Each structure stands twice: as structure tokens, then as C-alpha cells.
Chains A and B, each alone.
Chain A
Amino acid sequence: MADSGRLALIHAEIDGELDGPQRAELARTLLADPEAQALREDLRRVCAALDALEEVDPPQQLRQSILDALPQSTPSRAPPWWSAPRLRHAALIAGVLAAGTIVYETLDGPRPATSDVAGTIATADTPTTVDTVRLGNGAVAGRVSLYRDRAGLGLEFELVASAPVDVLVASDGRTLGVNGLGVRDAPGGPRTTVALPGFGRSGEAVDVTFLMAGHEVGRATLRAPKDR
């Protein structure tokens, strides 16, 4: 059976990613290994079948329903502070220097898979803050608070960053996420609240991971008393 190196060559060939020497190596492999040859043919057929699936036209009314659902006035904001070249460069340099030193709290649990990023923006209804973590002078600054309202737990973010921050939230095997937080005109700008339906009923810690362009730039752990 083809080992992982040979498999990688076969897949890379299908994706048109092989250079000359790799192509020669694959040719030698295929000549010497009939199983690898059969696998390659199978995978080529699978990929051809995938590529042959046609795009589907969306329902006729989709465009209109999207436009109807959008607010009449589009979000009109002054350019964010990071878009000024000098400030942007300063913020990026500061972010790079500080990214490795951000410490919010030590996290014991496993890190959630980044593919699980998904979230719900929600409105807090008379919330009571139960825990707050202030974020240091790293790539992400500001604070994150855990609150409880009638609907359950939620998080409130007030972040300032040099680029959009994606946030992963994990607790007791549940994960969700929110994209594009943290780039505001100034600290203390508009807040974002995120409902955590079903989270923290047994008083588990709520772990928050901050990512920029796919790279972790910080973590925080917040705790709520048991839901009674």
C-alpha cells in the first residue's frame, strides 16, 4: 500500500501541485507499485466526479429576500483607526511584539477546533455580570465579560485590535465562535454580546480563544456559578 509520502504525491498531482522532480518520483512509484497506480486512478475518478458536479442556481427570490432583510441604510462608519497607515503599522508591530506575551489565564481544557467557529449575536436582557477578564497590551486589548440574563449565559466583548479577531468559545464540550470582532474606532466603542445557549449550566469554566488571521493571539477563562 502506498505510504503517506506517496499518497501526498498522488493528491498533489491531482491538484496540479507537483514540480519536475516530484513528478519523476511519482512516475517511478507508480511503475513500481501497482497498488499505488490503482489508488491514483480511483482518486482521479473521485475528483473528476466532484469537479463534474454543477453549480446550482439559487432560488429566484433569494436576492430579493436578502435585500429585503437588510437594513435600508448600510453601515456607514469612519475608517477604522487601524486603516491610517502610521497607526496601522505601529499597531501591527506592537501586536507582533506582544502576541507571544499575552496571558489572560491558563487554560487546562483542550483547545476547540477552529473549524467549529460559529456563533450567534444576541441582545442581552438585563444581564448581570458574573466574571470579567481584562485583556493586556497585546494584539488584542479590552475586556471580555461573562454575564447571565433570563436566557442564560452570554459573553460581552469590548475589544480593540489591529485586525479582525475571531473568537472561539468552549465549555463542557460545546463550542461556538464569532468572527470579525475587535476593530473599532476607539476603545470602548460598540460592544458585542454573544448568547451562549446551553453553556455553563453545571458551573463549568468558559474558555475563550482569540485568533487573528488563523493564529491564536490570546486566551481567557471565565467562570460562572452553577445555574440553579
Chain B
Amino acid sequence: MKEDDDATLVRRCRNGDRAALEQLVMRYQKPVFNVALRLLRDSEDARDVAQTTFLKVFEHLGDYNPSFKFYSWIYRIAINESLNALGSRKPCEGLNGEEADTAPGPDRQLEGEQTGQAIEEALMRIKPELRAVVVLRHFMQLSYQDMGDILLLPEKTVKSRLYSARQLLRDRLLQRGAI
């Protein structure tokens, strides 16, 4: 059976079609959960963010302008909710230009650790706004333009943040002998 595109599903949702709503949840629960998980590194928090994201989406579905991509809208909400969740963990985290540090527990020796774990830890040690760009590029495979649309930033700023984030990750991973 052919699946409806996002715009069709949204239109059906606005007409009160519960099945369309369920399809949107099915389609986006995994990417939304993963965006939140990569930003928060906590499965429980990511689940809460995913739930809140869908609630907000459906609360404002009547206001959604279909000339914009639905996934840009839902990812933007997911990122904002994740940043909210981070803010409630540690006020002012990463907002003052200093490098944030949200990794749980003390530094550990890298020996024996997988590169994947090392990079996840390094990710949590960069500012949330830099982490968001990495998540959209490397986990969601989005273009610079889509990232700009989601983050409400010019492409130039998106690139600048992405490059800075990668270099910070590289410095951390080199420091720990992970690359």
C-alpha cells in the first residue's frame, strides 16, 4: 500500500482523521526520539521530549503552514524541547560562550572504550547549540539548508557551528587517544 506524504497526512489530521495522526507518530517517533537522545544522552528524558514534541505538534497543527516542510517543523520543536530539558538540568548551560560539560561522572581513561562511546561522551562536552548541528548533519543526514530552516539560522552560521563542533570533537578525541 502506498504511504501518504507528510502534507497529506497533516491535511487528514486537520480533518480529524485519527489514523493519519497515528501514521505521523509512527513515521516520526524514531527520528524525534533519536534527536532528543543524541542531545540529552538519557533515554528517559528523550522519551519525555518525544512525547512533548508530538503533543505540541498536534496542539498547533491548525497553525502549521504546509508550504514549509513538516519534518523541519517537528525537528525544530524536538530540538527546542531538548534544549529546554537541558536547561532544566543545568541553568544557563552553554549560553555564555563557554564550553558546556554535561557528561555524567568524572573523566575516565579511554583504554578499552569503544570509539563510539568516546564520541558520544565528547558530544556531550560541547555546547548544546553546536551539538544540535552535529545531530542534524550526522544523525539526520540533513542539508545545510534544512538545518538552517530547522534552527532558524543562516546557512553560513550553520556551517560555522558545524565546523567548530567537529574541531572541538577532534581535539577532545585526540586528547583521549580515541582517533
Contact = CB atoms under 8 A, between A and B. Distances in A.
A46 B170 contact: yes
Contact of B60 (A66, A82, A180, A211): A180
Contact of A69 (B55, B153, B154): B55
Interface stretch (A21-29, A111-119, A199-207): A111-119
B12 to A, nearest CB: 9
B124 interface: no
A65 B59 contact: no
A127 to B, nearest CB: 20
A80 B149 CA distance: 22
Interface string B144-158: 100011011110000
A42 B179 CA distance: 7
Nearest to A61: B47
B119 A53 contact: yes
Interface string B104-123: 00000000000110111000
Nearest to A73: B16
Interface string B47-85: 100110011101111111111100001001100110110
Interface residues on B, range: 35 or more
B16 to A, nearest CB: 4
A228 interface: no
Contact of A163 (B61, B65, B115, B166): B65
A55 B179 CA distance: 22
Nearest to B76: A179
Contacts of A179: 56, 60, 73, 76-77, 80
B158 to A, nearest CB: 11
A66 B34 contact: no
Given A50-B138, A75-B14, A58 B58 contact: no
6 nearest A-B residue pairs (beta carbon): A58-B33, A50-B138, A214-B152, A77-B62, A115-B129, A118-B80
